Amino acid sequence: MMRGLSWVWPAVLLMLVLVGGAASEGSIAGSTSRYVRRLAESVDLPYDSPYFAVPNGINPPQQVHLTQGDYDGRAVIVSYVTVKLSKPKVRYGKTEGDHPWQAKGYTTQYKFYNYTSGYIHHVIISNLEYDTKYFYKVGTEEEGAREFFFTTPPAPGPDAPYTFGVIGDLGQTFDSADTLEHYLQSYGQTMLFLGDLAYQDNYPLHYQVRFDTWSRFVERSAAYQPFIWTTGNHELDYVPEIGETVPFKPFNHRFPTPYWASNSTSPQWYSIRRGPATIIVLSSYSAYGKYTPQYVFLLAALKAVDRKVTPWLIILVHSPWYNSYNYHYMEGETMRVIFEPFIVAAKVDVVFAGHVHAYERSFPVSNIKYNITNGICTPQIDPSAPTYITIGDGGNIEGLAANYTEPQPSYSAFREASFGHGLFDIKNKTTAVWTWHRNQDGEAVSADSVVILNKVHS
């Protein structure tokens, strides 16, 4: 996952345009890919898959993953699981094999019907230097210590190039493995994960062991760069018929988010700044109507954004607000109606969503002019509106969504039902390049790409 060379991007942009691979956001006609593929359900990797292997040792740390641990990127939360009780501790330093500093954390455990989790440890490492590589070690030598590394982001600022990976609805199938392997070949520096992680709830009793296998599967990426978590419907784990009535209980035990750092009161919605971007994470499956905590949070979070410091403003949400597939149609509509006027006023650049197991990119559109009597109920091209990207095509057990509404709505710029991942490559304060990579192609190939100009600085 090497960072791309910043001096080559103008040449790459030129190539994209020359070969017709880069769409213009001002286009007026969308397209539906005729790429044909099998529509069989994806198959989960077997329990004895090497992707799920437990590390060596008498009580080895496993399921290691990172997320940002503060508002500005100077802290990291290291999470891992041990089967037997162990002290939550991470040693770290700037040289491989040398860990002069240590941070202590806390341990949690949960029960879900007849399942009891391992010991889940969360350790916040704070006061890190920006743009610095750190090596860290979890576990004790006696139990089977393991070393990983991460690189902190540049300080929030307008001229810091940065590349975000984007994956949604990953699951743990053979297709999921293809998606993650492709992403590992990219130069993505931080993962924007759009919800629906393990699909444990596709198994009887929401079989929580599938969370353990999934966390071992994604460790190859998530132990080396932060995953910015969004919660989806598959994280709800709300099953009153077996007495499980606390929404998001397993997710919240396993995948902490730095919600407190943005004055949020819930792990399900929060914001962070990372390099040139402010990222606001929303929850489709928590209350969002007027006066609710999430509503109040979003308005305050938008107000707090300083585009001179972080020119790019990105929203992550699970259920898409613009979706022209015949799957989950209109599920995001009520949230769109409530929040869209605010995000257009704030000139949000991009809204990423998952949920629909396919890919779709919109033109910059809004649908906020309708007032019941004026009849303006069609999305309009709007220079202040974000680009909407649906990318719930990580590869999960439920398979692809391959049935489109026809004709393609005027707001839909490109759509294709293939598994893949995306890269949001911020070049500077005015320009970002979005590329979508389908699993059938080599990582260097993009099946959809567009130059996105900043809503405030261009």
The catalytic residue positions are 328
The answer to whether residues 394 and 42 touch, using CB atoms and an 8 Å cutoff, is no
Which run of H or E residues covers position 130?
A: none
In whole angstroms, the minimum distance from the beta carbon of 262 to Fe ion comes to 24
Stretch that binds Fe ion, among 55-63, 232-240, 294-302, 337-345 (CB under 5 A): 232-240
In whole angstroms, the minimum distance from the beta carbon of 331 to Fe ion comes to 9
Nearest CB to Fe ion, comparing residues 139 and 232: 232
Distance CA 208, CA 215 (A): 11
Stretch that binds Fe ion, among 17-25, 29-37, 230-238, 364-372 (CB under 5 A): 230-238
In whole angstroms, the minimum distance from the beta carbon of 397 to Fe ion comes to 12
Residue pointed to by tokens 């898959």: 49
Nearest CB to Fe ion, comparing residues 230 and 266: 230
Token pair of 446 as six digits: 């993009």
Nearest CB to Fe ion, comparing residues 328 and 437: 328
The answer, yes or no, to whether the previous bond of 407 is cis (omega within 30 of 0) is: yes
In whole angstroms, the minimum distance from the beta carbon of 328 to Fe ion comes to 7
Nearest CB to Fe ion, comparing residues 196 and 237: 196
In the list 67, 233, 323, 418, the residue contacting Fe ion (rule: CB under 5 A) is 233
Angle between helix 209-222 and helix 174-184 axes, rounded to 10 deg? 20
Contacts (CB under 5 A) with Fe ion, residues 98-157: none
Distance CA 195, CA 199 (A): 10
In whole angstroms, the minimum distance from the beta carbon of 229 to Fe ion comes to 14
The answer to whether residues 180 and 219 touch, using CB atoms and an 8 Å cutoff, is no
Residue 1: CB atoms within 10 A of its CB come to: 15
Stretch that binds Fe ion, among 152-160, 198-206, 225-233, 362-370 (CB under 5 A): 225-233
Distance CA 441, CA 439 (A): 5
In whole angstroms, the minimum distance from the beta carbon of 452 to Fe ion comes to 25
Stretch that binds Fe ion, among 37-45, 143-151, 240-248, 351-359 (CB under 5 A): 351-359
Could you tell me which residues are beta bridge partners of residue 317?
353
Nearest CB to Fe ion, comparing residues 221 and 233: 233
Angle between helix 293-304 and helix 333-345 axes, rounded to 10 deg? 20
Nearest CB to Fe ion, comparing residues 234 and 429: 234
Stretch that binds Fe ion, among 108-116, 222-230, 243-251, 355-363 (CB under 5 A): 355-363
In the list 210, 355, 361, 455, the residue contacting Fe ion (rule: CB under 5 A) is 355
Binding mask 282-321 for Fe ion (x = CB under 5 A): ----------------------------------------
The answer to whether residues 209 and 115 touch, using CB atoms and an 8 Å cutoff, is yes
Compute the residue count for the chain: 458
Contacts (CB under 5 A) with Fe ion, residues 392-451: none
C-alpha angle 124/244/296, rounded to 5°? 55
Contacts (CB under 5 A) with Fe ion, residues 170-209: 196
Residue pointed to by tokens 């389908």: 438
Task: Report the first-to-last Cα separation within the chain, whole angstroms.
Answer: 30
Stretch that binds Fe ion, among 86-94, 283-291, 347-355, 367-375 (CB under 5 A): 347-355
Token pair of 145 as six digits: 């210590």
Give the total of residues touching Fe ion (CB under 5 A): 4
Could you tell me which residues are beta bridge partners of residue 423?
165, 435
Nearest CB to Fe ion, comparing residues 92 and 248: 248
Token pair of 144 as six digits: 């089977």
Nearest CB to Fe ion, comparing residues 236 and 432: 236
Return the CA Rg of the chain.
21
In whole angstroms, the minimum distance from the beta carbon of 356 to Fe ion comes to 8
Distance CA 169, CA 357 (A): 7
In the list 232, 364, 379, 386, the residue contacting Fe ion (rule: CB under 5 A) is 232
In whole angstroms, the minimum distance from the beta carbon of 338 to Fe ion comes to 20
Distance CA 172, CA 144 (A): 26
Interface residues with Fe ion (CB under 5 A) are: 196, 232-233, 355
